[in-house]
Amino acid sequence: MTSDTKEVAIELLPLIRVYKDGAVERLEGTPIVPPSPDQDPETGVSSKDVTISENPSISARLYLPKLTTHNQNQKFPILVYFHGGGFCIESAFSSLYHCYLGNLVSQINVVVVSVEYRLAPEHPLPAAYEDCWAALQWVASQSAGNDKEPWLINNGDFERIFIGGDSAGGNIVHNIAMRAGVESLPCGVKVLGAYLVHPYFWSSKPIGSESKEVHEKSLPSLVWNFAYPSVTGGVDNPMINPEGPGAPSLAGLGCDRLLVCVAGKDLIRDRGVWYVDMVRKSGWKGEIELFEVEGEDHVFHIFNIETENAKAMAKRLASFIFK
């Protein structure tokens, strides 16, 4: 072996490679882009970055709808968003999520707080869960009106707080909603609704159309064990398998409404349907809706924001938020 060839310790294709010297190479993900504080020329949406915590390092990108003389004093719903990427790639500041959320805000007029949480393997789970809970607490604390974030204070409606995310972010949404059912948020703030898009759930036993032969070596199994190596119960831990051993009742979900979206060609499509069935059987008192888009793959609406099906997803979210 030559001196300039580094030895690979873990390879999780197509996402990430970790070398024996500790170096991490992210094989997927999109470049970091700056915010648009003076309105994006295409969407009219303004965005800026804020620091939530120095230690641990938690930040967010805020998005504000285009303000006019008619709506400049309007209070918009607040969507606290958790990006996807298997807990190990992507960013709230990436071009992919900047384009997606800027476009979404231009369509449905919400204030978005897109959370930059710490990633595995440098920061294994539960770091991401802790960061996202801290971010939601920070948002709730702004309702006192004496903190530093004017976009939330002036234009955010703290009676209409939603949490949302895709893939691993959808998994985070579930776990944050469960925590909100047990722990209070600052200033008596409540989560009104939760939006789970193609949520990442799994278990040791395959369900539906999942392959029995390669289940243990499938990407969802490998990603979970990579992102949370110390977890008890592996893929049957309640954070990834909501009906795993010792899982708390889903009747304890701390919100009033749930919207779960699945895509017909998605590897984890059946998990979203499974989750909806579990919540319905749990005795949870809220309203749950399932929205399926046939013929589409995992998080298609983020990679292709201009398609008719992606626009249908945005309309469905709007009807959920403004119900």
If you write DSSP's letter for every residue of 215-280 in order, what string do you get?
GGGSHHHHHHHHH-TT-TTGGGSTTT-TTSTTPPPGGG-SEEEEEEEEETT-TTHHHHHHHHHHHH
β 8-12/16-19 pair status? antiparallel
Q: How far apart are CA 225 and CA 61, in angstroms?
A: 29
Q: Judge whether 276 and 307 are in contact, CB under 8 Å.
A: no
Task: Specify whether the CB–CB gap between 37 and 49 falls below 8 A.
Answer: no
Largest CA distance in the chain: 67
Report in angstroms the alpha-carbon separations of 313 from 104, 164, 198. Answer: 10, 13, 12
- Catalytic residue among 47, 167, 203, 221, which? 167
Active site residue 167: yes
* Separation in Å, CA 180 to CA 137, 184, 278: 10, 6, 19
What single string gives the DSSP state of each residue in 20-80? Answer: TTS-EEE-S---B----TT--TTT--EEEEEEEETTTTEEEEEEEPPP-TTTTTPPEEEEE
Give the chain's length: 323
| Contact (CB, 8 A) for 136 and 113 | no
Residue 166 designated active-site: no
DSSP character at residue 103? H
Find, among 14, 10, 104, the residue nearest to 61 by Cα. Answer: 104
Single-letter residue type at 84? G
Q: Which residues are catalytic?
A: 167, 266
